[in-house]
Amino acid sequence: MLDINDIISGDQNTGARMIRLIEDRDPSAHEVLKAIYPHSGRAFIIGITGSPGVGKSTLIDALIAEFRRLDKKIGIIAVDPSSPISGGAILGDRLRMQRHAADPNVFIRSMASRGQKGGLSRAAKDAVLVLDAMGYHIIIIETAGAGQTEVDVAGIAHSVGIVTIPGTGDGIQAIKAGILETGDVFILNKCDRPDADAAEFELNMMISMRPASPGSWKAVVVKTRALDGTGVKELAQVFLSHYAFLNQEGRLEKKKKEIELRYFQGLVTDLVLEKTMAALETSKAYREALQKIELNGTDPLSLAETVMGGITISNFNSP
């Protein structure tokens, strides 16, 4: 097992090893997570989501620089990235990339969806816990908002930024209704493109149609050009003002409790599945059922009910 003190003291090699264990669903990860849990809960967690290619990684790269200027330690989890964070590599801007890479107060990891039983959301949440315990002030999770392994970023982050771009295709129409509801900050990136003002107008319209309760956060639209950093300073400030807003009237505590509840439910679901399957796979009834399917094609629906004993599948539909 990893030495939890190395995680708490912020050792990046140990942090990276731990995230690999989480990715691999290594059983020892669970014990480490338990041990570091009391050291977590201090970070501000930002989710950045949006269709592939809208510029999330480039934006995050610029945001890192902005938050570093405010002397924040920054941790990044990129979930299932198709392109790397640190525009550096893409831009050929080596200086910029090296600045972040050499900065001991910045930690960037990506996570892939390979072999994830409990889903990538659970793995991302586990990884956030690690970065939190490592002492990062701000943790940013990048997820692609359109894809099969979609991560429920609103179920993990305190503040959700949704990135869109002007024009058709990957534009505003691409925001799914469910995602629109969860956005706290709407980032209109690539505003060097034509139609930025029209897109901003449209976004504001959509936001104004969301049902708002009194005292709730009013979503903000921020126009950016991640490539040259235009608007990124303002974007950082908007996230920080959302954080200040959450810190009033117990809002952050309430949100954290909701996130913990969802985490707990996910953990229980995973454990029920794991333990039930482990128990079943060694049971006689299960082995017999497998043979029956192989031998004479008994209907799998009745067999599933049989192996589960008294529990019939229709029970799952009862209130």
Ligand X SMILES: Nc1nc2c(ncn2[C@@H]2O[C@H](COP(=O)(O)OP(=O)(O)OP(=O)(O)O)[C@@H](O)[C@H]2O)c(=O)[nH]1
Q: Which residues bind ligand X (CB under 6 A)?
A: 50, 52-58, 81-83, 90, 144, 189-190, 192, 225-227
Of 22 and 226, CB closest to Mg ion: 226
Of 90 and 240, CB closest to Mg ion: 90
Q: How far is the CB of 63 from ligand X (least distance, A)?
A: 12
Of 26 and 192, CB closest to ligand X: 192
**How many whole angstroms separate alpha carbon 50 and alpha carbon 54?**
7
Q: How far is the CB of 246 from ligand X (least distance, A)?
A: 25
State both tokens at 236.
């950082």
Of 10 and 55, CB closest to Mg ion: 55
Of 100 and 190, CB closest to ligand X: 190
Of 14 and 164, CB closest to Mg ion: 164
Q: Give the one entry of Mg ion, ligand X, none that residue 58 binds, where binding means its C-beta sits below a cut-off of 5 to 8 angstroms depending on kind.
A: ligand X
Which residue in this structure is represented by tokens 């029920």?
272
State both tokens at 196.
């930025």
Is residue 242 a contact partner of residue 184, using CB atoms and an 8 Å limit? yes
Q: How far is the CB of 90 from ligand X (least distance, A)?
A: 5
Residue 71 has, within 13 A of its CA and on its CB side, a CA count of 0
Q: How far is the CB of 190 from ligand X (least distance, A)?
A: 4
Of 36 and 232, CB closest to Mg ion: 232
Residue 291: alpha-carbon gap to chain centroid: 42
Angle between helices 120-134 and 251-281 (to 10 degrees): 130
Q: Which residue's Cβ lies closest to Mg ion?
A: 57
Q: How many residues line the site for Mg ion (CB under 5 A)?
A: 4
Q: Give the one entry of ligand X, Mg ion, none that residue 167 binds, where binding means its C-beta sits below a cut-off of 5 to 8 angstroms depending on kind.
A: none
Q: Interface with Mg ion includes 83 (CB under 5 A)?
A: yes
- Which of these segments, 63-71, 81-89, 125-133, 226-234, binds Mg ion (CB under 5 A)? 81-89
Q: Interface with Mg ion includes 159 (CB under 5 A)?
A: no
Q: Give the one entry of ligand X, Mg ion, none that residue 226 binds, where binding means its C-beta sits below a cut-off of 5 to 8 angstroms depending on kind.
A: ligand X
- CA angle centred on 111, ends 109 and 115, rounded to 5°: 155
Site for Mg ion in 34-73 (CB under 5 A): 56-57
Closest CA relative to residue 224, chosen from 151, 162, 178, 158: 162
Residue 219: alpha-carbon gap to chain centroid: 20
Of 54 and 206, CB closest to Mg ion: 54
Q: Which residue's Cβ lies closest to ligand X?
A: 55
**How many whole angstroms separate alpha carbon 153 and alpha carbon 61?**
19
Long-range (24+ apart) CB contacts under 8 A made by 144-148 are 144/49, 144/50, 144/51, 144/52, 144/56, 144/79, 144/80, 144/81, 144/82, 145/49, 145/50, 145/51, 145/175, 145/176, 145/179, 146/51, 146/52, 146/174, 146/176, 147/52, 147/80
- Kindly compute the dihedral angle of the four CA atoms of residues 126, 128, 134, 140, in this order, to the nearest 10 degrees: 160
Q: Give the one entry of ligand X, Mg ion, none that residue 155 binds, where binding means its C-beta sits below a cut-off of 5 to 8 angstroms depending on kind.
A: none
Q: Give the one entry of ligand X, Mg ion, none that residue 190 binds, where binding means its C-beta sits below a cut-off of 5 to 8 angstroms depending on kind.
A: ligand X
Binding interface with Mg ion (CB under 5 A): 56-57, 81, 83
